[in-house]
Structure 1
Amino acid sequence: MDVIIENLEPAEQEYKQGQKKFLLPFILVTGLFFLWGMAHNLDSILIPHLKKACNLSNSQSTLVDTAVFFAYFIMAIPAGMLLKRLGYKYCIIIGLLVFAAGAYLFVPAANKLSYELFLVALFIIGCGLAILETTANPYAAVLGDPATASNRLNLAASFNGLAAMVAPIVGANFILSGKEYSKEALAAMPSVERMSYFIEEASAVKLPYIILGTILLIVALLFCFIKLPEIKIKQEENAEKPGFFAVLKHRHLSLAVLSQFFYVGAQVCITSFFIRMAQQGAGVDERTAGYYLGIYGFLFMLGRFVGTFLLRFTSSQRLLICFTLAAIVLCLVAVFGTGTYVVYALGLLGFFMSIMFPTIFALGIVGLGDQTKSASSWLIMSIVGGAILPYGMGSMIDYFQDNIQIGYLVPLSCFLIVLGYAWKGCHVRY
């Protein structure tokens, strides 16, 4: 079944007449995909790094994900309300400012060596990201021909994929020190030397996040002076405004929300333990593992561009089925394989996961018209899967005496659910 994005009507007559007023806004919004991609993919560096700096267990280290993605759950509905009230431009500016505030909070967190304060900073970053994603995903979808909304989302999300390559390289060079001690070695250290090691490790995050916060402020200022078209969705006269929960009556949306929950959980699980999996599976040091994560990011980015190209020749549904089947096979290799083949499988997972989020998002908002903004809030709220499932994976790894490999049964299960949505759940019924 070919799925076509309908009823997203961004002044279609003007679009058909060849007006290019959507080009600059689309370029700017695409830049936002890169910025929040940097934040998310730096988390994959922060998890093993803060595990060292704050002397954490696997499950405790995944609270990095919990802080960020729980913020999505908390902020998705308020962000949708802000979007309806203030429009796209002002929501983007607010999201950037909140994001920047969280980035700057890394400085006192590192100075105090406070994991709790790091989590607060990450929660604030997550709130900013939730506002940005609730705004930018539907905005990218409506900035052009409705029939190519999925293509635009995948193209914009390709720059999120670019961040997936850049962030691990930045993190490996500026955050990861390459110094790592066993529990026994740490216990044998004099307390002053041990504390000095922890503080030095924690301080490594300050410069990257100061730079990130400053860039966000500059971008927010740029949006203040750029005129963005506020797209209005056509609505029938005297039509009742549907309630926030009413949009869930659309089966393809409610199942998209469920599918997105498990997809995001799977992606975060895979990247959160990628570095430690590379260390265990291939026997490399943490910096080399960080570069492997950068290769994963490159393949993720490549998958976005290839996926956008393939959408010219096939439907979103068929592409999602094919890529999800490949992800399931690779997950099986990660769980049951040995040596460097495990790392190769994890790297290739980046390619095949790449199109899942934007494609599920686009399929979920098919035919929703004036309910698109509410649907966007639900789809962003489903990102809470990234807060819950990695903690479960970390607990499983701790239970099996730090066996990272067996924990990858969690994302494998998630991909089976995504496959079910792609196969049957995304059909639109009126």
Structure 2
Amino acid sequence: MSSNSVSAPNKNYLLPLAMICVLFFIFGFVTWANSTWIQFFQLSFSLSDTQAYLVATASYIAYFFLAIPSSYILKKTGFKNGLVVGLFVLALGSLVFIPAATSQSYSIFLLGIFIQGSALALLQTAANPYLAIIGPIESAAQRISIAGICNKFAGILVPIVMGGIFLKNAKEIETSIGQSEGAAKQALIADLLGRVVTPSVVLAVLFSLLAVVFMLVKLPQVEEDDETPEADNQATNKTSIWQFPHLFLGAFCIFVYVAAEVMAADTIAGYGKQIGLDADASKYLASVTLGCMLVGYLVGIVAIPRFFSQQKALKVCAILGIVFSAVALVTSGFTSVLFIALLGLANSLMWPAIFPLGIQGLGKFTKIGSAIMIMGIVGGAIWPLFFGLLRDSGVNIQLSYFIAVLPCYLYILYFAMAGHKVGLGK
């Protein structure tokens, strides 16, 4: 690759950065809607914790199955066309919620969520490496942090907007459904599920319009040979993706990070109810978690790499995760819930640091390496189920939380200190 072809994307990435930030807002809105869906489906279908957390499974399992196929789709379609396809699939997933609501089928809702997760797998497989590549790798975490602010801002809005629509008068409705039987109960459930139809149509239209915008806007295309700056010769003599052990350690780090992040955001409402907070207040707790993440992203934009490196940020965040989860275990009531929310701060700079550390030095293997990293998001599908099984088996909710998240932060600390250097000769 010539030096001119490198400098072009590095100097002129404001427009693509802005467009990707819009996409990250969409990612956040769709992904963090899971926290509201979990409560909403528990209310509508009287689900156990394990059954309700299938929402997270349906959403995140798609990344495992679709990440590598997505990399091949992007090779065929190119970056921009891949984004257009992903947005239309996202709209399709939203429309599936309509027959799910009218037929009162939890399974069809899960199908719609899986379709949306599949779209996000394609979109994120393109968007994350694009952010890392369009500028200097040393400041990749800064650019991902900027996009992450859009993601987490959407996440803050989701419980407020969707909670206000779908969980309005939740405590009263829960009591009414519990006291009703037969046709009266079905009528209450039908009325509750009917709240889904109009928002689903609106979202499908918005996603489709955004796809059209991406079709019309010119974005610089990063070709396969342009994925690593000329000075980066890590991959010159490599013949296989298996020759990069740090990539697979990074993918597992994404696995445990997403597991911890989903635990802190998607299950905090149920945690608050179990601890004793009011149900109508608990539905907004995910916004507090994501607000803490937003604060962390702002710190990342200012401080990385000016004051500390991506590796140091990851190390500090992992230590905070260990401390906050321990304090949540040994305290009670609102204080315990607060430290679960503060895990959002601990989680904030993990993705921006882990992703560029995992794909560093891959050269021509960057696309497939990025897809492998994206596969790690499946942690969000598996870990809530593990937590739900602990809860349904009778383990105390605070101890269940500690058992679920502590190993995640311990591994992240290892990757920050040593794992990201394995095989790179650093």
Fold match (TM-score > 0.5): yes
Match for 2:242: what amino acid? L
After superposition, the C-alpha distances for 1:384-416 in whole angstroms (9 at most, x for unaligned) are 111111111101101117x43232120222111
- The answer for the alignment partner of 1:114 in structure 2 is 105
- The answer for the alignment partner of 1:310 in structure 2 is 303
Shift of 1:187: 5.7
Query: Larger deviation: 203-212 or 355-364?
Result: 203-212
CA contact (8 A) 1:389 1:410 kept: yes
CA distance in 1, matches of 2:236, 2:361: 17
After superposition, the C-alpha distances for 1:3-48 in whole angstroms (9 at most, x for unaligned) are xxxx9989333467xx53x211110011111101111111011011
- The answer for the alignment partner of 1:132 in structure 2 is 123
- The answer for the alignment partner of 1:355 in structure 2 is 349
Query: Larger deviation: 259-268 or 174-183?
Result: 174-183
- The answer for the alignment partner of 1:3 in structure 2 is none
- The answer for the alignment partner of 2:408 in structure 1 is 414
How many pairs align? 415
- The answer for the alignment partner of 2:138 in structure 1 is 147
CA contact (8 A) 2:62 2:121 kept: yes
Please say if 1:381 is aligned against 2:375. Answer: yes
- List runs of 5+ in structure 1 lacking aligned partners: 1-6
2:22 to 27, 31, 39: 31
TM-score with structure 1 setting the length? 0.91
CA contact (8 A) 1:331 1:349 kept: yes
CA contact (8 A) 1:9 1:142 kept: no
Query: Larger deviation: 100-109 or 180-189?
Result: 180-189
CA contact (8 A) 1:161 1:354 kept: no
CA contact (8 A) 2:285 2:341 kept: yes
Please say if 1:288 is aligned against 2:298. Answer: no
Q: Equivalences for 1:321-332 in 2 at 5 Å?
A: 321-332=315-326
CA contact (8 A) 2:38 2:53 kept: yes
Q: Equivalences for 1:386-405 in 2 at 5 Å?
A: 386-400=380-394, 403-405=396-398
Q: Which is helix-richer, 1 or 2?
A: 2
Shift of 1:188: 4.5
- List runs of 5+ in structure 2 lacking aligned partners: none
1:170 to 161, 164, 186: 161
Shift of 1:123: 0.7
CA contact (8 A) 2:265 2:344 kept: no
Please say if 1:67 is aligned against 2:58. Answer: yes
Compared with structure 1, are the counterparts of its residues 262 and 148 closer, same or farther at alpha carbon in structure 2 (3 Å cutoff)? same
Shift of 1:105: 0.9
Q: Equivalences for 1:271-286 in 2 at 5 Å?
A: 271-285=265-279
Compared with structure 1, are the counterparts of its residues 274 and 410 closer, same or farther at alpha carbon in structure 2 (3 Å cutoff)? same
CA contact (8 A) 2:63 2:374 kept: yes
- The answer for the alignment partner of 2:339 in structure 1 is 345
Query: Larger deviation: 192-201 or 33-42?
Result: 192-201
Match for 1:423: what amino acid? M
Shift of 1:334: 2.0
2:182 to 191, 207, 214: 191
2:67 to 76, 81, 98: 76
Match for 1:295: what amino acid? V
- Fraction of identical pairs, as percent: 32
Q: Equivalences for 1:216-235 in 2 at 5 Å?
A: 216-232=207-223, 233-234=225-226
- Runs of 4+, deviation exceeding 4 Å: 7-10, 181-188, 239-243
Three-state SS of the structure 1 residue aligned to 2:252 is: helix
After superposition, the C-alpha distances for 1:302-332 in whole angstroms (9 at most, x for unaligned) are 2111122221211101110101111111111
Compared with structure 1, are the counterparts of its residues 222 and 9 closer, same or farther at alpha carbon in structure 2 (3 Å cutoff)? farther
2:258 to 254, 264, 282: 264
- The answer for the alignment partner of 2:421 in structure 1 is 427
Match for 1:349: what amino acid? L
Compared with structure 1, are the counterparts of its residues 111 and 146 closer, same or farther at alpha carbon in structure 2 (3 Å cutoff)? same
TM-score with structure 2 setting the length? 0.91
Please say if 1:159 is aligned against 2:153. Answer: no
